[in-house]
Amino acid sequence: MSAQQRLNVLKQHLTPEQELANAVDPVNSMKEERAKASFDISELTHLLDGGKGASELRERMMLEIERDPLFTMHDIHDISKNELRERTMEKFRSMIHHLQNESVDTFKKRMEVISLIDPGFWTRFGVHYGLFVGALQSNASPGQLSYWFEKGALSLSGMVGCFAMTEIGHGSNVPGLETTATFDEASDQFIIHTPTLTATKWWIGGAAHSATHASVFAQLIVNGKRYGTKVFVVPLRDPKTYNLLPGVNIGDIGKKMGRDGIDNGWIQFTNVRIPRGYMLQKHTKVSRSGEVIEPKLQQLTYGALLQGRVAMVVDSGNVSKKALTIAIRYAAVRRQFANSKANGVETKLLDYPIHQRRLMPLLAQAFAMHFTGSEMSAMYNNMMGRLESAGPNDPDMAEVLEMLKETHATSAGLKAFCTWNCLNTIEQCRQSCGGHGYSAYTGLAGMYNDFAVQCTWEGDNTILALQSGRYLISSYREAVAGKKLSPGVGYLNNLKTLIGKKCNAAKVEDIVTPEVIIEGWQVVCANVVKNAALEFEDCLKDGLDIDDAYEQCSQSRLYAARLHSYGYLFRRFAEGVAKVEGELKSVLMDVCLLYGLYTIEENAGAFLQYEYFTPKEIEYIRAQTNFLCKAVRDQAIPLVDSFNLTDYIVNSPLGRHDGNVYVHYFDQVKRQNPQGEHPYFDRLIKPMLERDIDGGDYDDEAAGLESDDSDDETD
């Protein structure tokens, strides 16, 4: 007897009530979804992780962190800011052990996992190793780097670092920072000073309670002349007593929207003296006699600033995966309303076309950000390798600088639009969970609060998008002048072919291919970049200088950057899928095409304006988007399972792997909120209820209800 036959026999012995309960059981519902898998889930996991070995390493790390008592996370929503900050510092002990015993690449993978578990700790630890140590690596000479590493910067012994760039009056405008570093030749020292309130260092992670040293960004002044913003190491506290050093004033900036495990603070300096050698002099050098030697190529100093942006593209994909795992698993077991033919069995949320439309394009977008993030990381690492080994007179320096320009502009646009996309994904996932999405325990509210900062730190998104748009205009003008552009904007070398081009698909069904979608994006992007460039040139003809002209066409720059970024995301996704074979290619192609058609639909105005698609073709694209939403929906649970996030990582009862969401949800609420004596009945509620009010005696058991005989009495 087959398994299905045995199941049918068992069903014959069930009462109608038992049969209904079995049909709507969340655990059974989840099993039904996993049975639909048309591909090997572990194979997709290995592809996303970069190989079977990488997946096994990641799984080992997830287990180690879950079993580490310092990383208890189930009660994270119910502890105070101070408790959270203490826990954050406790975790340093565990991480230092791994840091000292793992390779750099392995430790980076560990921190990537931790970013999904506790983004506040990930940031706090990253302030020292990513920002403070990163500032040393990017700006210190070899001798200076050795000095600070020997003093304990790398081993986190004798010092804890912070990164003091942002001021209360300046964020994205780094050249406009007001803190000064004035060279005193007589003493061979720099004087670090906060000249105004707006020069107060602000949002400095680790400053409030834990940092002993800061990498301070300040205006270099030598002999009365300003040389721009440079980096200085400034001691803040005595490492043994933690007393503030003379001239240093520090405070706590208090409660934030999220990531409260980080002790963000403010810093003011009053004529604080540091040795000349505490200015990091890999690029700009100041001699004992006050001679300033600046680098021949200022652009070489920018490379290290891009690491954070590239990391946030990757993080946007990872956090989107976590949010979608919660929302899609919940939608697979949550039932709402039954149609007339369902015998009382309510419909899964995931079976409603509108819910598919709500979540499936976002799932496709998460995959697009994953593939693009992987490609951006490889591009960044390649660029930095060449940058580190390049000298001003190297024959391929021009090519390296072009690569730097492209990586700078592309990472700026992608950082902006990927973090915006991720934040929107989290909120859409929260809303798709209905009322339960509002509970802190479901994880999405806190996830939104923690992630929101990514849209403004490391460069405000709008400013970064405008930088990308400026690069596109510059690239257009270079292309018109005959220069061969780097691959990311290479389509601008084909302006004569792309401007005015229409989709030449023989029939409407032929639209749905990666080649047509890529060409469509190139045509649209070529047109919007051209229009932005022409608007810029008109401003120049009207007498505006270059900076004012760019500001005047800022809306066109932003629009061009938006469409360029979406086209770039799709192309990277399609290129990634093209390398895949077998069953995986089929399912990933559906996801890829869904992303392509969805983004065209979202920007249909541009495709119609430049007449690449006709209105009829856009209508077909809408219909195919619906079709692909259903196709991807059928594989939705296997797809989110391929993200390979354990229940500990997901940390949400609605996203539990077994689907038993209500049991886990109820258990967590009871565990975190034990019943006991009423906390304020005697003090607040009882006095209110028992206060004397004239005419307030309600002893009548009828409670004001009219007599049943009242109608008879009127007859």
Catalytic residues: 458
Q: What is the pLDDT of residues 429-467, one digit of tens each?
A: 999 999 999 999 999 999 999 999 999 988 889 999 999
The model's pLDDT over 370-386, given as tens digits with 9 standing for 90+, comes to 999 998 888 888 877 77
Position 540 pLDDT exceeds 60: yes
pLDDT greater at residue 4 or residue 383: 383
Identify the pLDDT of residue 286: 95
Residue reference for tokens 């005193």? 184
Percent of the chain with pLDDT over 70: 93
Give me the pLDDT at residue 4, please.
56
Q: What pLDDT was estimated at residue 301?
A: 57
Least confident of 123-132, 333-342, 434-443, 522-531: 333-342
469 Cα distance to chain centroid: 21
* Percentage, residues of the chain above pLDDT 90: 68
* Residue showing tokens 């990872």: 318
pLDDT over 60 (residue 1): no
Please, which pLDDT band fits residue 409 given cuts at 50, 70 and 90? confident
pLDDT in tens, 215-269: 999 999 999 999 999 999 999 999 999 999 999 999 999 999 998 888 999 999 9
Output the pLDDT for position 233: 97
Q: What is the pLDDT of residues 281-290, one digit of tens each?
A: 998 999 999 9
> In this predicted structure, which of 63-77, 212-226, 621-635 has the lowest mean pLDDT?
63-77
Angle between helices 583-602 and 554-578 (to 10 degrees): 170
pLDDT at 529: 96
698 — pLDDT class (breaks 50, 70, 90): low
Q: Alpha helices of 582-675 — where are they, by DSSP H?
A: 583-602, 604-609, 615-634, 636-641, 647-650, 661-672
Q: What pLDDT score does 711 carry?
A: 56
| pLDDT over threshold 90, residue 415 | yes
Distance (Å, rounded) from C-alpha 182 to C-alpha 390? 31
The span from the CA of 280 to the CA of 135, in Å, is: 9
Query: Could you tell me the pLDDT band of residue 156, with boundaries at 50, 70 and 90?
Result: confident
Q: What is the pTM of this model?
A: 0.89
pLDDT digits (tens, 9 = 90+) for 463-479: 999 999 999 999 999 99
Give 659-685 pLDDT, tens digit per residue. 999 999 999 999 999 988 999 999 999
Q: Across the chain, which distance is largest between two alpha carbons, in Å?
A: 114
Angle 114-313-634 from CA coordinates, rounded to 5°: 85
Residue 55 has pLDDT above 90, yes or no: yes
Separation CA 171–CA 328 (nearest Å): 37
Listed range (12-16, 431-435, 544-548, 579-583) with the worst mean pLDDT: 12-16
